[in-house]
Structures are given as C-alpha cells and as structure tokens.
Amino acid sequence: MTTVEQTQFILIVDVETTGLDPQRDEVVELGALLIRLQWRPQMTARVVNSYVGLREPMARSWSSAFAIHGISPAEVRGQRLHEETVAGLICKADGIIAHNAPFDRAFLVRLFPAARSRPWRCSMHQIPWSRYGHPSRRLGALAADYDLAVSVAHRAETDCMTLYRVLLQQDSRGWPHLHRLVAQPPLLPPEKY
C-alpha cells in the first residue's frame, strides 16, 4: 500500500446512461458524493458535498437502458447538468472512485475533461470481494451482504450513497474497504487533458 495524505477529498461518482458504449451512448444522470477523509488518529470519512442531476441526451429512446435504471425520455426532457457544480467537485477531489471506474470514467470525461486529471480507483475491480467472502461484486449484492437497505437500484444518487456505505464496512482484518482502496495505486492514473 502507498502512503496516504492526512486529509483527502475523494469523489464517489456514478453515471446512468443510454447504453454501454461511451462513444455512442450518453449520460442521462450523474451522481457525486464528495468525501473528506481524515487519516489521523484513525480513518474517518464524512460526506461534505453531493450532487445529482439529470441530462437530456441527443438520443430520443433507450429502451434497454430504461429497463435497468427506469429513467425515461420524459424525465430528462429539458434537463442539464450544472456544469459549474460538477467541475468544482472534480477540481476539489484528490481522487475519484466508481464501482466500475472504466465505465464511469469513459462517460464522465466526455462531459468533463478535467476528470482525466484525477486518479481513478475502482471498487469493483480493486477490492478482492471474493477473498472477503462475497460471491458477487455487484453493488446491490454487496449491499445485501452487509444488510444495507437500498431504496432504488441503478439511480446515480442511490448508487453513490450505497457505494459509500459499502466502502465503510470492514474487511476481515478490521480495515474499512475505503481505506484499502484509497491506499493503493489507482486503476486509472491521472492524464493530462
């Protein structure tokens, strides 16, 4: 594990999209939680800011994605992300976490290129969930394993909060998953943009 700073700001993000291809499909919902981590005398984490916004894409229908997240064209009609708020959260963050970081990053950097300049960690791929007794690394399954109630799955705000709550759970050695994730090198290192 690498050394961590005494205080860090980590941005947990989740996107809901019109499909799976970041070159063709688009974001319809973005959720973000800015977490302040204190490392001394012990790790504490606190949500200091949050954002959720809908966005009308160019596409007019996305039936396959609608079946997953339930966000309809009518729900996003005329909606735009508050670019200044999102850009501010990205700039404040020392790093970004998503449950499937390669997916979320590919979509987010198209809208906010500054997200390329932050290290990205992936809670799905960088935490050995099976080693800790979890048969699935899906976010909903992990939440259920920890008896965490989830009101609505596959909505950006709920998924961000669910991920935060899962990451606060302890591994078999008593370390919060968040600590282990932030203390290791990023899956996707920062790039110049």
Query: What are the structural domains of the chain?
Result: 7-182 (3.30.420.10)
Instruction: For residue 9, report the phi and psi dihedrals to the nearest 5 degrees.
Output: -115, 125
Q: What is the DSSP letter of 63?
A: H
Query: Could you read off the pLDDT of 39-50 as tens digits, one per residue?
Result: 877 889 999 999
Question: How many CA atoms, within 13 angstroms, populate the side-chain half-sphere of residue 124?
Answer: 16
Average pLDDT estimate for 94-99: 98
pLDDT tens per residue across span 106-134: 999 999 999 999 999 999 999 999 999 99
Nearest Cα residue to 142 out of 175, 177, 183, 104: 177
In percent, the amount of the chain with pLDDT more than 70 equals 97
For the entire predicted model, the pTM comes to: 0.93
Tokens 């090198």 correspond to what residue? 185
